[in-house]
Structures are given as C-alpha cells and as structure tokens.
Structure 1
Amino acid sequence: MAPRGEDGARADTAGFTVIPALLSGSGGAARQLLVKPHRAREAAARRPQERTLFVLNLPPYCTQESVHRLFSQCGTVISVELQDKPGPGPKSEAKKSKFFSRKPAEGYRVGYVVFKSPADMKSALKPQTPWILSPSEHPVTTGLQKWIQDYRCNITDTEALQKEVDDFMKKHDQRVAAMEARAGAEDGVPDEEGWVKVTRKGRRPGVPRTEARNLQAVQREKRKRQQRELLNFYSWQQQDAKREHIAQLRKKFEEDKQKIALMRAERKFKPY
C-alpha cells in the first residue's frame, strides 16, 4: 500500500527520500522511512518549513526519544512530534492526569522533526546507509515484551491514584472557598447601576456614602421619577379613554329611550 501524504492523499515515493531501516544490526526485514521537507499552507511557529522534516511510515514501537536519536546523526534536532495522521495536530495541553490520559499507539505513524539549521535538515535528505531502529546500546521494546510493558503500565497504582484524587479535591476546595470569599466581599455592595445583590444570608449593614455613591443615588432617583411620570401619563390616557367610552354609551342610551317613547306614542288600539 502506498503511503499517504500530508494532505491525506496517497503519496508518490518520487517526492520522498527513502531511508532504509533495520530493526537490529543482526538483519531481518528492512523497513523504509519516507522523508521530505515539510510544506504547509499555514506555517506554524513550532514547525518552520525551512527546518522541518516530514516523516512517513514510522513503526508504532518508535518513540519520540528513538526518533530523536535516529535523526540526530544528521544534525542537531530541536523537537520531534509524532501523530497518528498528518495535520496540525492537537493543541499542546498539559496532561491533567497520568492515569486518564493514556493513548497507546495502534499503527504506523507520521512525524515532524525540527532541526536547528536548514543544512542539518538537508543532510537527512541525502542517500543514507540503513539505520538501526533498535541498537544494542538503546534497545527498543517490541513484540511480546512491549505487550507485557503496556499491560503493566495499564495496572493502576492505587496509592498514587488516591494521592492524585486527594490533591485534586484539595485544589477544588480551595477554588470553592475563594469563590465564596469573593461572593461574600461583593455581598451588600451596590454595582454600577446601584443594585445590591441580596442572598439568603441577608443584606449587610449600610456602607458609608461617598461622592460617587451619592451621585449614583441621585441618578437612580431621577430614573425612578421619570418612570413614574411615564407611568402616570399612560394611566391618565387610559382613564380618559374610559370616560369617553362611558359618555358614548350614555348618549346611545338616551337616543334609544327617545326611539322607544316615539314608538309607544304611535301605537294605536285596533281590536277589530
């Protein structure tokens, strides 16, 4: 299967430099690391294009330390980033817990190797002799030993976990206490509009008046007076409308009374 390039499409090996790699010096099946200069539409500060090498086909047992050691023979390596697929990668965030942030490697990965100078990066693009992924002085754990190592790492140390939980709850209690103290300090103090937050603890004794607070109180009373005047205007308008409606009803009632009296006067008795 052809490897995939930085844009997710299948990569043509003609655009890559092939570096042969052996697991150990004793021989065995050779692997091929595909490298080329990193090119991206949006350059990242941590990956300068003139000093960053894009690497494909990294085995899952290769760690950042082993990749750093491999490419250090071409020059000074500043940083190494390993990812499951090409791209900008996740945002660098500090791990909150060593027990709940584990993500074992499941397949071949890609890497971004940042060198100190462009000359060091170009030296990695030259034809290379086979590299040893697991030298005797720095062996890489593979196969059954790696499975056993991953299994042991997944076993949780109850004492360390309890200590981490206790530290987290201690920091949480401190944050809650700080929030309560801040809320208590703001209780009973008017805000910019003069409103006072009232809690179940009740209002605190009045705070001393200052020139700024007196000005706020005057402005607050002025707003209330304007609201009352506006409310009175609407009440008078409603009362005037009701009075006019009642007058129209009375006029209609008098007209109806006159019509009834006229109809009674015109009525004649005709027994036959």
Structure 2
Amino acid sequence: MAPRGVGVGGAESAGFSEIPVRFADRSPVSRRLLVKPHRAREPAAARPQNRTLFVLNVPPYCTQESLLRLFSQCGAVASVELQDRPGPGTKPEAKKSKFFSRKPAEGFQVAYVVFKKPAGMMSALKVQEPWVLSPKEHPIRTGLQKWIQEYSSGIVDPEALQSDIDEFMKQHDKRVAELEAVAEAEDGVPDEEGWVKVTRKGRRPGVPRTEAHSLQAIQREKRKRAQKELLNFYSWQRKDAKREHIAQLRKKFEEDKQRIAVMRAERKFKPY
C-alpha cells in the first residue's frame, strides 16, 4: 500500500527507496516500507540528519521492537520513534500508572530510525531482500491471539492497583507537607512592601513594621485615593461630553427637518 501523499509510482521521484517486507515466512503478499534520509528545516538534536532514516507505510501491527530488530541488521540503532503522522518529535509522557497503556494504532504509521553511525543508514537504503516482520523467533500476535492478549492485559489485579494508589498518595502527601512547611516558614514575615501574609491558620507574630514601612503604606493609600478621585472626574467628564453631543445631534436633526419642509413647500409644477 502507498502512504498518504506518495503514490507507488511516485516513490522514487519523491526520493524514497523501497524495502520489501512480509508478515511471515510463508506470506505470499509483501508490502513496501518507503525509506529516505530524514531532512528538516530545523533539525532536532535527537534526529541528526546524517544518521536518521524516515520510514513511511509502517503497518499498524508493527512495533518499535520489531522495527529495531529489522533495522539492526544494517547497523547499530540508537532509537526508533513511531508516530501517527510525520512531524516534530514529542517527549514521551511519563506513565502515571503501569496498569494502563496508550491506545494502539489504528492505521499505518511513520517511523524515525536513528542509527549510531551514518553507514547504518546508507546500508538500509540499499536493502533488496524481503524482511520478515513476524518470524518464529519473534512472533507478532494478531487476530484472536492479539484480542486475548489485550483482554488479559486489561484485567487489573485489585491488590496491586491498590498498592500503586497507596504509593502515589504517599508521595502526594509528602509533596503537600513540603509545600506547607515552606508556606509556614514564610508566614508572618513581611515582604518588601511591608505586608504580612495571612493564611487560614491565622496571622502569626512576625517582624514588627518599621517607620519606613509605615510611611510607604501611607503614601500608597494616598496614591490610591488620588487615582480614584481622578478616575471619577474623568467619568463625569465623559458623561457630560456625551450629553452635549446628543443635544447637538437633536438640534441638527430639527434643523434638517425644517429645511426639508421648506424645500417641499417651494416645489412647483413646471412642465416647460
């Protein structure tokens, strides 16, 4: 099957090389992995352009382990990234729980294979012999076996899950206790403006406010009062200007009505 945006006949014109792959040794049908050196306008450090191979048309049942095993035949592989579509790499999110995994892929994927040496990438571009994705030594589960495996992995042991929850809550309580300890250490200590933080546990005795802090607080209150008076004055000025503008519009409207009435009265029938 051809990848989205690249036809089978246009693979070579797009700069891709083809690697034939079969699912098993006895599979009569083979697919084509389309590969080419990875090129990007803004290369990422995790994908060096002289060692990264861009792979299209990866079947949904193909895993990172199987791709690592296949491309390791060409040279030592540093990493393999599987994505739903081409794009910049995203940092894998840390798994919050070992009991739940991400949703499996539903369609064909793309991959970025990073070799440890450039020779490995060049060797992969010259592969002609078909590769087997699911050999006897490393079978890929499909069909009924895959469904049974997914169902079995979805059954969670309640005791193990409870143990994992207890450990998570233990770490959470530890972090909360550390934050509360930091808040208590800062409680009662005035900041640079002389204000003392008050928490729900009540105000605690702290450093007494100095005369300089008191003067700063008085000046701050004066500025707030002056700003409030100025804001009220501007509000009254805007209302007065708006009222005057409306009166001018009404006066102009009456004058226009009178002028139109005079023009209608002076209109006469003149056939010649």
- What band does the TM-score fall into relative to the shorter chain? 0.7 to 0.9
- Given the superposition, is the C-alpha separation of residues 232 and 179 from structure 1 closer, same or farther in structure 2, using an over 3 Å criterion? closer
Letter in 2 for 1:85: R
Q: Secondary structure at the match of 1:70?
A: helix
Q: Which residue of 2 aligns with 1:220?
A: 213
Q: Secondary structure at the match of 1:88?
A: coil
Q: Which residue of 2 aligns with 1:135?
A: 135
Q: Which residue of 2 aligns with 1:265?
A: none
Q: Hey, what's the Cα distance between the residues in 1 that align with 2:189 and 2:22? A: 73
Q: Secondary structure at the match of 1:35?
A: strand
- CA shift, 1:230, in A, is 8.0
Q: Secondary structure at the match of 1:175?
A: helix
Q: Hey, what's the Cα distance between the residues in 2 that align with 1:177 and 1:232? A: 41
Q: Hey, what's the Cα distance between the residues in 1 that align with 2:43 and 2:53? A: 13
Spell out, residue by residue over 1:225-246, the C-alpha distance to the aligned partner (whole angstroms, 9 max, x if none): 656888999xxxxxxxxxxxxx
Q: Choose the corresponding residue for 2:6, options 7, 10, 24.
A: 10
Where does structure 2 lack aligned partners over 5 or more consecutive residues?
227-272
- Given the superposition, is the C-alpha separation of residues 200 and 89 from structure 1 closer, same or farther in structure 2, using an over 3 Å criterion? closer
Spell out, residue by residue over 1:84-104, the C-alpha distance to the aligned partner (whole angstroms, 9 max, x if none): 111113333221223344211
Q: Report 1:157-236 matches (<5 A).
A: 157-207=157-207, 217-224=210-217, 226=219
- CA shift, 1:45, in A, is 0.7
Q: Hey, what's the Cα distance between the residues in 1 that align with 2:98 and 2:128? A: 38
Spell out, residue by residue over 1:41-93, the C-alpha distance to the aligned partner (whole angstroms, 9 max, x if none): 22111111111011111112211111001001111111001111111133332
Normalising by the residue count of structure 2, what TM-score does the alignment of the two structures yield?
Answer: 0.73
Q: Which residue of 2 aligns with 1:61?
A: 61
- CA shift, 1:121, in A, is 0.4
Note if contact 2:190-2:206 (Cα within 8 Å) is conserved in structure 1. Answer: no
- Given the superposition, is the C-alpha separation of residues 118 and 200 from structure 1 closer, same or farther in structure 2, using an over 3 Å criterion? closer
Look at both structures and tell me which one has the larger radius of gyration over its CA atoms. 1
Letter in 2 for 1:146: K
Letter in 2 for 1:205: P
Letter in 2 for 1:162: Q
**Structure 1 runs of 4+ with >4 Å offset:** 224-233
Q: Hey, what's the Cα distance between the residues in 1 that align with 2:57 and 2:92? A: 23
Note if contact 2:59-2:107 (Cα within 8 Å) is conserved in structure 1. Answer: yes
Q: Which residue of 2 aligns with 1:43?
A: 43
- Given the superposition, is the C-alpha separation of residues 17 and 221 from structure 1 closer, same or farther in structure 2, using an over 3 Å criterion? same
Q: Which residue of 2 aligns with 1:76?
A: 76
- CA shift, 1:22, in A, is 1.4
Normalising by the residue count of structure 1, what TM-score does the alignment of the two structures yield?
Answer: 0.73
Spell out, residue by residue over 1:101-158, the C-alpha distance to the aligned partner (whole angstroms, 9 max, x if none): 4211212211110011111101111142111111222222222211211121122222
Note if contact 2:21-2:30 (Cα within 8 Å) is conserved in structure 1. Answer: yes
Q: Which residue of 2 aligns with 1:146?
A: 146
Comparing 23-32 and 120-129, the one that deviates more: 23-32
The number of equivalent residue pairs is: 222
RMSD, aligned CA = 2.5
Letter in 2 for 1:57: N
Q: Hey, what's the Cα distance between the residues in 2 that align with 1:67 and 1:128? A: 16
Comparing 46-55 and 166-175, the one that deviates more: 166-175
The percent identity for this pair of structures is: 66
